[in-house]
């Protein structure tokens, strides 16, 4: 459900999870002029720019090798004061980034590239980077998607589910490392076990899984 506001960032092809996060930003901005957002990662800075244009202070966390490219995009968007780059390479998180604790944290990818137990540890750490009442938005690759075709760990329990995709799909999507694929219930339990209060989970048309949780 899209908020009825005059802001182009909500109308530029955002997926459902992204829309929820943008709407939350607008809502918080009505009560607080300084809404802080952490995005991991956002190589093309498209999402970061949307948040910055809604008045948020944004930190983009990504691999140090991408710093020059990302900062170039920030400069081109004339948002150098609104968007900062923080070097990190998952499973490591940025250390004491400006704006912490955050109102909103978005994890676009990265959790699937680690076993379930490690992902749970990372989610716990992310929750600690949120304000009380701050929201965490997570997107993971789905077990009930095309990616499960030929996936060796498809019958394993989630805590043991960590394997490479089939060669054809690894080549198609450029995912050559081992991954953990999630069901919607798996993501719900990951958030719950990490100590979050789960607000919603959903599965997209293509089988990817997304969740929204709050720090309590």
pLDDT in tens, 6-38: 333 333 335 889 999 999 999 998 887 789 999
190 or 95: whose pLDDT is higher? 190
**Mean confidence (pLDDT) of the chain:** 90
3-state secondary structure of 170: helix
Q: Which two tokens stand for residue 98?
A: 């400006």
Please tell me the pTM assigned to this model: 0.90
Query: In this model, does residue 123 exceed pLDDT 90?
Result: yes
pLDDT in tens, 54-108: 999 999 999 999 999 999 999 999 999 999 999 998 888 988 888 899 999 999 8
Residue 173's nearest CA partner among 106, 114, 123, 112 is 112
CATH placement of domain 13-214: 3.40.50.150
């Amino acid at each position: 459900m899209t908020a009825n506001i005059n802001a182009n960032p909500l109308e530029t092809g955002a997926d459902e999870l992204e829309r929820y996060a943008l709407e939350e930003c607008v809502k918080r901005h009505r009560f607080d002029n300084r809404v802080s957002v952490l995005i991991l990662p956002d190589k093309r800075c498209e999402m970061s720019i949307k948040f910055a244009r809604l008045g948020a202070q944004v930190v983009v966390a990504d691999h140090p090798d991408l710093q020059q490219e990302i900062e170039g995009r920030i400069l081109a968007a004339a948002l150098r004061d609104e968007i900062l780059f923080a070097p990190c390479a998952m499973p490591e998180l940025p250390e004491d980034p400006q704006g912490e604790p955050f109102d909103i944290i978005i994890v676009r990818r990265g959790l699937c590239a680690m076993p379930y137990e490690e992902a749970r540890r990372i989610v716990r750490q992310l929750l600690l980077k949120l304000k009380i009442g701050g929201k965490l938005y997570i997107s993971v690759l789905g077990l009930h998607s095309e990616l499960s075709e030929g996936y060796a760990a498809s019958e394993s329990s989630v805590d043991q589910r960590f394997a490479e995709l089939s060669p054809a799909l690894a080549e198609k999507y450029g995912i050559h490392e081992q991954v953990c694929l999630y069901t919607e219930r798996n993501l719900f339990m990951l958030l719950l076990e990490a100590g979050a209060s789960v607000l919603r989970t959903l599965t997209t048309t293509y089988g990817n899984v997304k969740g929204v949780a709050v720090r309590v």
